[in-house]
Amino acid sequence: MTHMAPADAHLVCDVRAELGEGPIWDHRRQRLVFVDIHRQQIHEFDPATGRHRVLSAGVAVSAIGLRASGGWVAAAAGGFVGVDPDSGRLTSLVDVEDAVRRTRMNDGAVDPAGRFWAGTMSLDSVAGQGTLYRLDADLSVHPMIAPVTTSNGPAWSPDGRLMYYVDTRTRKVDVLDFDVDAGRAVNRRTFVDFGDGPGRPDGVIVDREGGVWVGVWLGFAVHRYRPDGVLDLVVPVPTASATKCAFGGADLTDLYITTARAPLDAAAREAQPGAGGLFRVRPGVAGLPAWEFAG
């Protein structure tokens, strides 16, 4: 049986991002970090004070990860960068795709062994132009899944044995068997198929119980699926495109949701004043601490 969330998602930071994405809880700073890809911004929200800080990146940063050596690692433009959270300064780590390919980095996450995964997508909405890459601690880069169109995820089960991945254009969430030691994902198969239903799957995360959370692009909701793929919980969001979630707070029981204004016309933006904002809800389950990039 599908349940509705015990409380509504409410707006906690009215940033009006064009393409809010990549939320992650930085436990060291006790703040929620996310990006606005189109405006080339990194945002940091402190729930204890309500303070909101914006860093101008100068390039399209699409995903953030914690870095064991300090600061953040990020997917940005056509490669990977290090980020100083205090100054916002970006340091190039490695480029993976040049401007000729007309692609940019998109979603990403750190795996249980401290490798940072992020994928690319076409700037011109051309199918099959993207690749999911793995960045190792020695800064070597490995293409892992290709071709893809709009790469989102990945995310891992609590025991690290499963990897969830979304190519949004396919309207599916896929699951793969994952070898933590080797950093290899195999046996890709469908976990959830959105079919002709409302919305498309966007960013994906996993909670402490193995539940899989999916932001629904143009679906006014976030979905939680049980480990067997059954839809378990729907969190209504008062704007069309929920892009991704992250659990935060001291006990990781606050679910933060990034959203986007980009797909909305002028009338829809007026009707959905919270579009592009950061939302929060307490769904009654806790998240997993973010793994840290080892490089």
Predicted confidence at residue 81, as pLDDT, reads 98
pLDDT above 70 coverage of the chain, percent: 97
Integer Cα distance of 269 and 257 in angstroms: 18
**Residues contacting 1, CB < 8 A, separation 6+:** none
Instruction: Convert the pLDDT of each residue in 197-254 to its tens digit.
Output: 889 999 999 999 999 999 999 999 999 999 999 999 999 999 999 999 999 999 999 9
Bridge-based pairing of strands 51-56 and 141-148 is: unpaired
Please give the Cα distance from 132 to 152 (Å, whole number): 9
Q: What does the block give as tokens for 151?
A: 């790469």
Separation between Cα atoms, residue 276 and residue 255, nearest integer Å: 16
Output the average pLDDT for the chain: 96
Q: Regarding the domain delimited by 3-293, which CATH topology (the fold level of the hierarchy) does it fall under? A: Neuraminidase (2.120.10)
Does residue 126 have a pLDDT over 60? yes
State the Cα–Cα distance between residues 79 and 107, nearest whole angstrom. Answer: 12
Per-residue pLDDT tens digits for 7-26: 689 999 999 999 999 999 99
Give residue 41's pLDDT band: very low, low, confident or very high (50, 70, 90). very high
254 is catalytic: no
Distance CA 29, CA 254 (A): 16
Contacts of 179 (CB under 8 A, 6+ apart): 185, 186
The pLDDT of residue 197: 85
Q: Which of the 8 DSSP states describes residue 270? A: H
Question: Which residue from 294, 273, 291, 295 is spatially nearest to 11, judged by alpha carbons?
Answer: 273
The separation between CA 174 and the C-alpha centre of its own chain, rounded to angstroms, equals 15
Encode pLDDT of 154-172 as tens digits.
999 999 999 999 999 999 9
Conformation bin of residue 112: beta by default, left when phi > 0, alpha when psi is -120 to 50 = alpha
Strands 292-293 and 61-67: parallel
Question: Which entry of 202, 207, 232, 254 is annotated as an active-site residue?
Answer: 202
Cis upstream peptide for 23 (omega within 30°): no
Quote the pLDDT of residue 104: 94
- Average of per-residue pLDDT across 118-135: 94
Q: What confidence category does residue 124 fall into, taking pLDDT thresholds of 50, 70 and 90?
A: confident
pLDDT average, residue stretch 19-48: 98
121 neighbors 129 (Cβ within 8 angstroms): yes
For 253-279, what is each residue's pLDDT tens digit? 999 999 999 999 999 999 999 999 999
Which pLDDT belongs to residue 216? 98
Residue 97 has pLDDT above 90, yes or no: no
Alpha-carbon span 98 to 16, nearest angstrom = 30
